[in-house]
Structures are given as structure tokens and as C-alpha cells.
Structure 1
């Protein structure tokens, strides 16, 4: 039987490695996001931050549709909001399926294909209104063009993440800056916790959470995200679509 409508293609992220002639791309299946994974950001959002690993509790997760990915950096200002905010994040790309059941943290690294930079764009006013009513805040996080992502670098080429810094500049001014050492939950720990809730598959992305300094983006603003060893993610906020 044939499809009654054309099947959409999976979004694809460019890959940068030594074999540039191959022009390979990474097809995306699903996007997981980690909330409040930097203590300073948790505090700026009015949430309690753990004093140490012993009192971390459980990580907070939400999802974005794969078709919210933007690879050219051009982001039309979204409808329904006057408070579009930036959240710069490390993005983890999975290149293998997790085995059935709970994934041990020491085995999580074998799933990772590579890393990229991303922005978890947020309609902050919609998120805040939903939170105030105790409602889900999907409309604040999941919308068209909500997930700009830079080119992927294979994990073997990047090496250890320890000590690397992540930052975001808007119109040339640094807004966010932190060390990945400040993550409350590491990449293996997050994959372990996700495996308790979902079947992780090749093609999944994980946005690892943002440091403090989130703030507004307006039409005409330019942004550049950086992380040691990764190609920068640059782009611009365009006028709203007519």
C-alpha cells in the first residue's frame, strides 16, 4: 500500500570531520532536552539548585519535534510571543541504539556519535504562564524553528569534554558563558536516566541544558554560540513570517 501523503524527510545535520569530500549528514529521529542542568540557570529561573551530587534528585526532561531543527541559522521570530529567549546548549548525537533495559553510565559513551552546539529557543512568556497555572509548557518550547543546531563533530575527533567552555554572544555581546564541568548531570548520567524512560535510538539528539544568562532575542539580532573544539553556531533572528 502506498502513502496517502508524501512522507516528510528526516531533518539532517551536517558533519565536519577529516573526510570533508564525503559531505555526510546526520538524520535526526528525536530531540530530548534537559532542564535545569546548570545550577546558576536553575536559580535565575527561581528554582532550587542542588548543593551537590547527593541532593540532585532526578533530571527534568522535555522533548522538541525533530522538524524544529534549523541548520542555516535563520530563525523567523515565532508567533504568539513577545519574549523569545536564547538558551545555548551542548548537543549530543547518538549513533547507535541503546540495548534493551536500563543503560549503565559506563556504557553510555559507546552510543555517542558526536557533539554540536544548539539553541533551545523558548517562548518565555508562554512557558511562564503555563507554569503559573500548573500546566504543561510545550507551547513555550516546541514551535517552528525552535532548535537551531550547528555542524556535528565526531566524538573521537573532539575528545574529552572536561574543562571546555560554552558561550553565546548576541550582537557581539557575551550573554552566556560557563564550563561544561558545571553541568549537574554529565552526558553518561543523562543517557542513563533517559534510558529508564525511553528507548534511545540512533539519530536521537540530547540538548544538555543551558547556563545562566538567558535573555531576549529580537528581529535583527545576530547570535554566535561557541564551544572549544566545535564549529560555531551563527545565525540571525528574522522578522515574523507573514
Structure 2
């Protein structure tokens, strides 16, 4: 596959990612000149919808980058997935991995180098779990913000999944650019909304009605307290 280097194939396989069966999807500036449109985003979407390989993505190539009409990676990537699934008759609801290959961004490179600086010399890969400070650092990078926006923005398309952990790969003798893989998992179901309190009475109540109203307000208060005391994951 153009854009996927030879040494990256074993990395894909080590994460259970297919190495063939992809649609090549690209988004380009339209132009009326004789020059070929400049591509902004170039990615692969697997026909089964279980993997995305991000090859070359540079928003600043967008003619409208500094205007209100710029394309966001999250929206463009979701549209590419829709079109790929239209051809394969598949679904993205089981998306398992999102790869960012051949990372050239210096900020992301710096975060990955920092991770390996705390590992034994010669380490070539490392897993970072959700909740780790390094996870959040990569999530806030240009290689994390896009998927982090895309998944909750299109929950039906991607089966309500969230980013669960990362595997980072160090630079190699074949490439001076690291790689990373986001592993996804189903997001927890949203917490139920607490019951609204009973409507206050608009007339004087009998003793029996007053006792019933008091019980109802007490139960509503208890249910709300129970919900607020639980910890629910966020996508």
C-alpha cells in the first residue's frame, strides 16, 4: 500500500490490524487551474470497517484553513468512512484501531520520545493506558484531537466507541518518524437522568395526600443521590 512502509507491516500485525483489504480515501482542494488538486488528507479505511490507517494529514494545505470554511479532519474522515462502507456494504461500528503512521509533528514526536526515555534502552514499543498522564498528552496532540472529536460527534456511525489505550512505536533505522495506534472499546452507556421532582400541589392537601406527596419527594431525592454517587465513564 502506498504510504505504508515495509517496517510498519509487522507493527500493524502485532496489533491485530489487517495489512490488506483497504480503500484509499483522500480529500483534496478543488481548483479551476490546470494544476492537480493538492491533497489535504490521505488515509486508508478497511473494507470491514475495523481499522483506519492515517497516512498524510495536513490541514494547513486547505485553501480555506484560515477561514470559516476550512475542513476539519474529524468531519472529513467520517465522510470518507461513510463512502468506503457504501462500497463495501460494511459498517464502522466495530472500529478497533486508528493508526497515525510516520508522524512528523514535532510536538507528538517529543511526547513519544519522552515515553521511551523512561524505558530500557533499545525499547521499540510501549503501551499507554487511559488515565495515564502520557495518554492525555497524546490525546491533546494533533494526532489525538481528531479521533477524540470524531468518535463522539458520530456515535451511530462508529458504534459509540471511545479511545481506550495507545501503543507507540519508536523511530527505526528505516524511518526517523514514530508511529502510534489508538485502540478503541465500546463506551459505557450514558447514565440515566434522575426523575423530575413531583409537581408541587396547587391546592391544600388532605393529611393522606400530604403523606403521599412527602413519600414521593423523599424517593426522588434518594434516587438522585444514588445516581450522583456512582462513577460513570465518559466517551
What TM-score range do you get, normalising by the shorter chain?
under 0.3
Normalised to the residue count of structure 1, the TM-score between the two structures is: 0.25
Normalised to the residue count of structure 2, the TM-score between the two structures is: 0.26
Query: Which of the pair has the greater relative contact order for Cα pairs under 8 Å at 6+ separation?
Result: 1
Larger Rg: 2
More strand per residue: 1 or 2? 1
More helix per residue: 1 or 2? 2
